[in-house]
Structure 1
Amino acid sequence: MVFYFTSSVVDPPALLFMGRDKYENEDLIKYGWPEDVWFHVDKVSSAHVYLRLSEGQTIETIPKVLVEDACQLVKQNSIEGCKMNDVDIVYTMWSNLHKTESMEVGQIGFHSQKAVKKFRVPKKDNTVINRLNKTKVEKEVDFRAERETRDRNERESKKQQFKKLEEAKKLEEQQRKAEAEMRSYSNLMKETNMKSNKDGGSDSDDFM
């Protein structure tokens, strides 16, 4: 069971989600999307909350209000963290998560510590939590199937983009050839006219 939340602090609204337990977190880690940003309370056990970025968005361009929503949700879903003030939340792109066979269920590391960001939450904000909980939806999810569908759609989109690019190149080449032929034809016509004028003057001299 995955818990989905909708954050309306941005337009269009953003999707936040988290697994029901540490075993579902394992599936989210394994079948996450390149567009997913992972959030967790630093050095304290908590839920793994994900933010799915919209097209063209990066971790650097996430609005602060949206980061705050995700961090409040993480803090709320941490047994220890929800009771603490000045809690640090770490977040990074899903692709930066590093999982090895020796790690315990739900445990995670990072490929690059430099790619991990921090956001401090001074205290729990019930207004944010209540707003997000009103949008909460529970769904049974086939993580692998969703990832495969996402990848298939991406491949199809890239195919279409490549096809359009090739068609544009072909059209540009046709236009270039047509322009070259027109210039060649124009030059030919000029040479013909010059020869005709010269011949006409020569005939007149011969007649006289």
Structure 2
Amino acid sequence: MVYYFTSDIVSPSASIYVGKDKFENEELIKYGLEQDVWVRSSALPCPAGPLDSLTACAHVYLRLQDDESWENIPKELLEDCAQLTKANSIEGNKKDNITIIYTPWSNLLKNASMVTGQVSFHNPKLTRKILVATRQNPIVNRLNKTKVESYPDLRAEKENYLKIKRKEERRIREEKKNVEKHERKERDDLKWQKEHAYDDLMSEDSVVQSSNQDRDPDFLDDFM
């Protein structure tokens, strides 16, 4: 099960989602999308045992728009993600002044040596941190009002996303190819015009010269 939340402090509204438990987190790690941002407490250990609540160490994901970057997420939206992370972490919800870390989904590293729900980074420098002093109930309550439970086929969603992306990339390549072809034709036409700019004039000179050469030698006597 995945819990979806909507943050309407930005326009268009942002989608935030959280896995129910560490097993669901595994699926989210595996089938995340390129525009996803992973958010989690950086100071709290994630227990390996069974979980009775949402998650002992919440993995929160923010889905950005295609034209947005994880490096310039609005401060208010980051606060929503951080508060949701704190509120849905068993230990984090009990403590103040916790550090929240976030990074692009593509920076997540998962290998066979890691326990269920555990994750690391390809590049630790490709991360950001924010401090959450205390739980802000108005923010948490606002987000909880938008909460929706769902059982998505994450694999199918990703395959569909990649299919659409590949189709769009092909369209862009074809458009670029057509533009380049059109520009190349215009250059060739302009080059031909420059090379043959005097063809008509030279042809007229040849006709005049040929006409004079064909006249009888006594032609000028008619004017004397």
Which TM-score applies when normalising by structure 1?
Answer: 0.91
CA distance in 1, matches of 2:198, 2:40: 72
Is residue 2:119 matched to residue 1:108? Answer: yes
Structure 1 segment 19-168 matched on structure 2, within 5 A: 19-44=19-44, 45=46, 46-168=57-179
Please report the RMSD computed on the Cα atoms of aligned residues, expressed in angstroms. Answer: 2.0
Q: Secondary structure at the match of 1:115?
A: coil
SS at match of 1:85: coil
* CA deviation vs aligned residue, 1:63-87 (integer Å, no higher than 9, x gap): 1111111111001101111121111
Partner of 1:189: 200
Post-superposition CA distance 1:138-182 (Å, at most 9, x none): 111111111111111111111111111111112112222222233
Q: Counterpart of 1:186 in 2: which secondary structure? A: coil
Amino acid at match of 1:99: K
SS at match of 1:11: coil
Q: Distance in 2 between matches of 1:66 and 1:52?
A: 11
What residue identity is the alignment partner of 2:105?
W
- Once residues 200 and 123 of structure 1 are traced to their aligned partners in structure 2, the CA distance between those partners, rounded to angstroms, is 102
**Cα deviations by residue, 1:7-36 (Å, 9 ceiling, x for unpaired):** 111111111001111100000011111111
| Percent of matched pairs sharing the same residue | 40
- Letter of the 1:159 partner, please give it: R
Preserved CA contact (<8 Å) 2:43 2:98: no
The structure having more radius of gyration, on CA atoms, is 2
Match 1:176 to one of 162, 171, 187: 187
Secondary structure of the corresponding residue to residue 38 of structure 1:
strand
Q: Deviations over 1:109-134 (max 9, x none)?
A: 11111111101011111111111111
CA distance in 2, matches of 1:190, 1:114: 70
Give aligned pairs, total.
Answer: 207
Q: Name the SS of the counterpart of 2:27 in structure 1.
A: helix
Higher helix share: 1
What is the CA–CA distance in structure 2 between the aligned matches of 1:18 and 1:166, rounded to whole Å? 42
C-alpha distance in 2 between matches for 1:25 and 1:53: 19
SS at match of 1:91: strand
Deviation, structure 1 residue 185: 3.5
Cα distance in 2 for residues equivalent to 1:65 and 1:169 = 43
Q: Report the CA distance between 1:200 and its aligned residue.
A: 8.3
Q: CA separation in 2, counterparts of 1:201 and 1:85?
A: 106
Unaligned 5+ segments in structure 1 are none
Cα distance in 2, alignment partners of residues 64 and 191 from structure 1: 73
Task: Tell me how far apart the structure 1 counterparts of residues 193 and 141 of structure 2 sit (CA, whole Å).
Answer: 70
Give the stretch that moved more between structures: 167-176 or 144-153: 167-176
